[in-house]
Amino acid sequence: MATGSSRLRDLQAFDDTKAGVKGLVDAGVTAVPAIFHQRPDPVPVANPSDVDDAVVPVIDLADVDRDRVVVQVRAAAETVGFFQVVNHGIPGELMDETLSAVRRFHEQPAEAKRPYYTRDRARRVRYYSNFDLFQSPAANWRDTLSLEMSQEGPAAPEEMPAACRSALADYLAAAQRLGATMSELLSEALGLPAGYLGQDAGCLDGLYVGAHYYPACPEPHLTLGTTRHSDPCFLTLLLPDTAMGGLQVLLERQWVDVPPVAGALVVNIGDLLQLVSNDRLKSVEHRVVASGVGSRVSVACLFRPRYASTREYGPLVLASGSDDDDTRLPAYRSTTTAEFLEYYNSKGLDGRSALDHFRLPPPPISTPSTFASSP
């Protein structure tokens, strides 16, 4: 077993190549290096034949009955935390071209990608392998091109790599519009005005984009594409690789495959929305398994304020006397995006939920006083 110092040396040597996991594959690696070895997961994987396809619901956003759509979104967000949307307004051709563009970037020679390789979070466009390479217990078999965007728009187009600039810029503009629609539906699902989450709470004030590439792995049983985690945001829109699959969600103590649906986008609740909704909406843990056959690409859009934002968020607690039976005490202390992300990034994907760090202890249980009976 590698010592701490030798592991650190191996991590640094891998990072210094600035070629990512794709660089290992291009070099002809036939065994997964020890820095990527994951501990065995005791959680079983559900047999797909035993899982109802509707467990991760598919919601048609073209349904003219908005109340019905809100009910479906509420049911999914309060239980599974994941759902897929179809007829969402983003053309299938643009989705396909976006995935192809991301693949083009990642499959370039290492020399073409190196200028973008950095761990400096001040850079709006970054290429790296594992944001938590030096923090997590094991590295993931994944490389990422990331973009930080503000409410006003994306990183300047000229900052984006030429290999994916046009398609990615068009897709992200469309994704921001869809994010606004989803925030309205989720606001109404919470019984709030449609503009609450997007305008009053500021969940659309920023956008982190992770354009991921998962190379084929020579020993997929030893590692993962993405370790078990939940997302540090309000809301995630995922453009998946339906040809490859690989996304699993943790439901009822088992890993359940998210079935690929042609033309669909995957939506999931993030940690900050679970915090703000005071546990009404669920940020569910998920992971991506490694594949021994073919590479996988995806584009994850995480809606949240910029990393340095000092805006404070706390649980929404219904006023006393509300007709809603869900009145409860705050489950979390207030936090800022900067504090939440700093904690999330400092621990890395270590299998622990960041929400636990911000959860308030339960109030003491009061017991009725007892008095000695009169003689």
Q: Rounded to whole angstroms, how far apart are CA atoms 361 and 338? A: 23
In the chain, what percentage of residues exceed pLDDT 90?
Answer: 79
Give Rg (Cα) of the chain: 22
| pLDDT of amino acid 359 | 97
Q: Give the per-residue pLDDT at 247.
A: 97
- Render pLDDT for 231-249 as a digit per residue (tens, 0 to 9): 999 999 999 998 888 999 9
Per-residue pLDDT at 152 exceeds 60: no
182 close to 235: Cβ distance less than 8 angstroms: yes
- On the question of pLDDT at 348 being above 90, the answer is yes
Per the CB < 8 A criterion, the answer to whether 149 and 172 are in contact is yes
Confidence label for 72 from pLDDT (cuts 50, 70 and 90): very high
pLDDT of 371 > 90? The answer is: no
Residues 90, 276: contact at Cβ < 8 Å? Answer: no
pLDDT, tens digit, 9 for 90 and up, residues 250-290: 999 999 999 999 999 999 999 999 999 999 999 999 999 99
pLDDT tens-digit map of 160-184:
999 999 999 999 999 999 999 999 9
pLDDT averaged over the chain? 91
**Lowest mean pLDDT segment, chosen from 36-45, 114-123, 298-307, 361-370:** 361-370
Q: Quick one: pLDDT band at residue 192, thresholds 50, 70, 90?
A: very high
Mean pLDDT of 204-214: 95
pTM of the prediction?
0.92
How far is it, in rounded angstroms, from Cα 53 to Cα 124? 38
368 band by pLDDT with thresholds 50, 70 and 90: low
Residue 302 has pLDDT above 70, yes or no: yes
pLDDT in tens, 316-347: 975 433 444 555 799 999 999 999 999 999 99
pLDDT at residue 151, rounded to an integer: 52
The pLDDT of residue 194 = 97
